[in-house]
Structure 1
Amino acid sequence: MISRRHLLAAGALAATGAPAFAADNRPIRLVVPYPPGGPLDTVARALAERVKDSLGLVVIENKPGAGGNLGADIVAKSAPDGHTIVMGAVATHAINPWLFARLPYDPVRDFTPITLVAQVPNVLVMNAETAARLKIATLADFLAYARRNPGKLNYGSGGNGSAGHLAGEMLKSLAHIYTVHIPYGGAAPAQLALLGGQVDFNIDNLAAASANIRNGKLKALAVTTARRASAMPELPTAIEAGLPGFDISTWFGLFGPANLPRETTLRLNKAFTDALATPELKSRMATLMIEPAPSTPEQFAAFVKTELAKYQKVVKLSGAKVD
C-alpha cells in the first residue's frame, strides 16, 4: 500500500525537481569507519552541523574495524538513495585494496565519489638531538648522510602497512637510500620512540608532530605534499628540497554507494563543498592543521584512481600484507 507520506514525497519531488532523498525526511547516515575523536571524525561532525540547513539531519555513525574496511563495506552494500554515505580515506580507498588479501568491496566499482574533503600534510621529522649530532639541518643533509651510511638510520611507524611505513618505503625508493623500518603498535608509540631517541626519524602527520617541532624536540626537514602546508609555510616540500616525485599525504573524502543518481550526487557535492568554503569550517580545520580540498565528483574519482595506482607500487615495495 502506498502511504500518504510517499504520495507527499512524490508530489514534492515532481514540484521541485529535487532528488528523491531531499523529499524524504529520513536523516542521512554519514559512516565514519574509524573510532570517535580523530581528525577525520572531528571534520565529519563539523560538516554534519554545517549542512543541516541544506540536507537536513546528518547522523554520524562510527563503524571502526579492519583498518576502515568494515565501515566502507557497510556503505558499499547500502541502497544508492543518498541516505547512506561514508567518509572514506587514503586507507580505505587506496592502501587497503593492496594491503589486505581479501577486501569485501571494490574501491572504485562499489562507490560513487562525491567530493574530496581534506588533505593532511605529512612531515619528515628527526629527533632533534640526533639531527644535531649528525649535523643534519636540511633534507639534502639527511639524504647525503643516508647515502654515505646505508642502514645506519632507522625510522618508526605505527605498524607494517601503516601510512608512516609506506611513506618511509616510498622515500627509500625515490631517494635510493636504505634505512631500517621499526614498526610499533600505533602512531603514538612510534612518536614516543622518536622523542626518546630509539628511532632517528618518522614520517608523521603535521598535526601530530607540530607541538614537538615548535618546542624544539623534533627537527622538521620537509613536508611530503606537493604544496607547502599553510600551517607551517616555512617548511619546504620534499620536492623543493631535492626529492622529485615525493608527494604523499593523508586524505579523506565522501563516497556514496555505486549507482548513486547523478542529481543526488551533485546535490550532496554542492552542500558539502559549500560547507567546506565557510570561514567557520576553514578555521576549525586550520586548528587541526587540515587543508580543505573540495572537488567535483569527477575530480575526486580521477584522484582516487591515481592514488590507487601510486599505492599499488608502494605497498608492493613495502612487502606489507594483511591476511
Structure 2
Amino acid sequence: MAYFNCPVSTGTNPDMKKVKSYLLMLNQQLQHCFQSIDPEDNFSAESLLKYQETDENISQLEVSMGGFLSLFKNLRDEVESNIKVLNGQIDLKVSAKELCSEISMTTDTITFRTGSLIIDTTNFKLRADGSAEFSGSITGGSININGRFVVTPQGTVTIQSTTFSKQITTNGLLYSNYMRIAGDADIHGSVNCGDLYASRDVSCETLYQRSDRRLKENIEEIPDETALALVLGMKPRSFEFKDSGQHSIGFIAQDIDELQDRLGTNLPLVDHSGDYAAIPYPNLTALLTGAVKAQQKEIEALEKKIGGTAA
C-alpha cells in the first residue's frame, strides 16, 4: 500500500504524532476511493439520463455501465430512430408509420430487416428494385437461388430459368432449360439444356438431336402429299440480319405461318416461345423426305403411264 512518509521526526511531541496519523488516514481514504468508487459516483443523475418531451418530440439518452441508448421520436410525423448498444450487441432502428428498417449486430451475426436494401460501392451495387452489379470473383463456397440458379463448390452450374448473357466461360458442367447467349461462350466441358438459343453462329463437329422412340408419344404420319404442298409453298429468301449485318439465306417465319393457315396444317415449323419467331430448321428434313417420296410416286406413275402408252 502506498502512503505518505512524513520527513519530520516526531520525537515525543504528541502533536506531530497526530499529524502523521491524520496523513496516514487520508492516504487510506484516497486509496479506497480509487479502488471502490464506480464511474456513476463521478456523474450526476442528469448526466447519466437525459429525457425531454414536448407535444411533438421525445428525445432520450441513457448511459449505464452495460451500454447506452439514444432515442428520438417525432410524434407528429410518427418517425422514430434509435441506437442501442448493450451487452455486446448493437441495434439500429428507423421507422416511419408502417415502414421500418432495423439492423442488429453481434459478434457473429448481422441481421437486416427492411423494405429495400441499397448498396452503392465501387465493386458492388444493389438497387431498390433488386438489380445488382458486381465486379470481382467469388472463390469457394456455393450459390443457390431458390434452386433455380445453383453453383456447386466443384464449379457445376445449374440454371432452371431464362438466362441472358453476353459471354459465358466455364470449365465445368453447365445445365440450363433455356439459355440465350448474345456473345461468346467458352465452355470446356458439357452443356446440357432444354433449349439453347444463339444469336450468332454455332460451330461444332457433330450435332445430335434425340430421336429415340421411347421418348415420344402421339406419333402420327405426315402424308407425303402434305409434305410436298408445304415444301412447294415455302419461299426461299436471302437476307441480312439487322444486328450483325450478316448475309444469310432461309425462310421467313411469318411466311410459313401464313402457308400453314392457307393449307390448314399445324405442324411445329415455327417457334413462338421467344421474343422473336424462330424456325426449327431440322424439322424441315422430314418435310423434304416426304416431298421427295411424293414426287417419286408421281414419277413412277408417269413412267407406268408412258410405258403403257408405248406398249
Please, what TM-score do these two structures have when normalized by structure 2?
0.23
Could you say which structure has the higher helix fraction?
Answer: 1
Please, what TM-score do these two structures have when normalized by structure 1?
0.23
The structure that has the greater radius of gyration is 2
